[in-house]
Amino acid sequence: MTTFKEIRGTAIQSVSSDPSNPEEGQIWYNNFSGALKGYKTVNAWSAGGNLNTARHGLAGAGTQSATLVFGGQVGPTAQTATEAYNGIAWTNGGALNTGRSNLAGAGTQTAGLAFGGFPQRTQSESYNGTSWTNTPSLNTGRARLAGAGIQTSALAFGGDSGGPGTPVNSTSTEKYNGTAWTASGNLNTGRDSLGGCGTQTAALAFGGSPLLTSTELFNGTAWTANPTGLNTGRGEVAGAGTQTAGLAFGGISPSATGATELFNGTTWTTSPGSMSTARSLLAGAGTQTTAIGAGGNTTTSVANTEEWTGVGIQTITVS
């Protein structure tokens, strides 16, 4: 009988824990759990229901089957429109009090938070599933920033705090506790148009203008530069997931891209599954395995929604 080594040229490795960054097609035996395991990426984007309002520069929050998007831009006009997604279709919700584009978001579909935006806004608003309420403002007005966390424990970081004609790639980080925004540890690399995900005490920042690859991790107090960055440097990128299971997708590099990468807490891996519609300035939400990308810019504002399904380690039962 032919052995695995004769087919692949290597023997199956016996390990006590799963490898942190397995390669496509890799197989190993976990002697702690007594299971033969393999890594097969079943990562793909599929079409979802279109937004009611095509736009770019919008923000997102929530999960793949309960998404909230808000704000954005159509032509020269900043939007107040809010839409909720149920996994099939989008429904219009309550309008933002302040129309804006290039803002950031955090939270869930029924407990969302919107903050910042163009032109270098400080305004912050909370959403209860029906309507938006003005909340205390950011200390640093900025657009093209990133957000993470939940409505009562959010994080705002990066962005452009300078304005048209005098852009300033901000390092500023602020925490929100449901009552007020307070300054926290600065990013190591000032950047705008970056992606972000995670929580207030375990956030991930990546990419940004001008076509950055650098990645940073936040521990609730300070940012640490990660030794490795994105494989595709880009700005205007969307994100989803957590600090140790992040997802980056879309952006501009230097033209619109659909490239998708997965982060395991240490390194980024490029997925063979790219977005069907390459775009920048899109909204992202969800997890590394079930994410959503909505709206954005190709050469014009689009309404397209795409749903991501990503599966990592597959366990093979040994008889």
DSSP conformation letters of 276-305: SS--BS-EEEE-SSEEEEE--BSSSB---E
At 23 the pLDDT is 72
Give yes or no for residue 249 having a pLDDT over 80: yes
Give yes or no for residue 38 having a pLDDT over 90: no
Give yes or no for residue 2 having a pLDDT over 90: no
Give the total residue count for the chain.
319
At 298 the pLDDT is 97
Confidence tier at 318 by pLDDT (50, 70, 90): very low
Confidence tier at 10 by pLDDT (50, 70, 90): low
At 82 the pLDDT is 98
Q: Taking the model in full, what pTM does it have?
A: 0.85
At 165 the pLDDT is 82
Among 204, 263, 212, 205, residue whose Cα is nearest residue 233: 212
Give yes or no for residue 319 having a pLDDT over 70: no
Confidence tier at 264 by pLDDT (50, 70, 90): very high
Confidence tier at 42 by pLDDT (50, 70, 90): low
Give yes or no for residue 237 having a pLDDT over 70: yes
138-147: per-residue pLDDT in tens?
999 999 999 9
Give yes or no for residue 90 having a pLDDT over 60: yes
The whole-angstrom separation of Cα 319 and Cα 304 is: 45
Give yes or no for residue 115 having a pLDDT over 90: yes
45-89: per-residue pLDDT in tens?
999 999 999 999 999 999 999 999 999 999 999 999 999 999 999
Tell me the domains of the chain and their CATH numbers.
4-39 (no CATH), 44-310 (2.120.10.80)
Asked if omega into 136 is within 30° of 0 (cis), the reply is no
At 195 the pLDDT is 98
26-35: per-residue pLDDT in tens?
888 888 888 8
179-202: per-residue pLDDT in tens?
999 999 999 999 999 999 999 999
Question: Which residues are registered as beta bridge partners of 115?
Answer: 104, 124
Among 261, 310, 296, 294, residue whose Cα is nearest residue 62: 294
At 41 the pLDDT is 59
The whole-angstrom separation of Cα 236 and Cα 145 is: 10
The whole-angstrom separation of Cα 216 and Cα 298 is: 28
At 37 the pLDDT is 81
Give yes or no for residue 313 having a pLDDT over 70: no
At 35 the pLDDT is 84
At 312 the pLDDT is 55
At 314 the pLDDT is 52
The whole-angstrom separation of Cα 122 and Cα 236 is: 20
Mean pLDDT, the chain, rounded, equals: 92
Q: Is 244 exposed, middle or buried (0-12, 13-18, 19+ CB in 10 A)?
A: middle
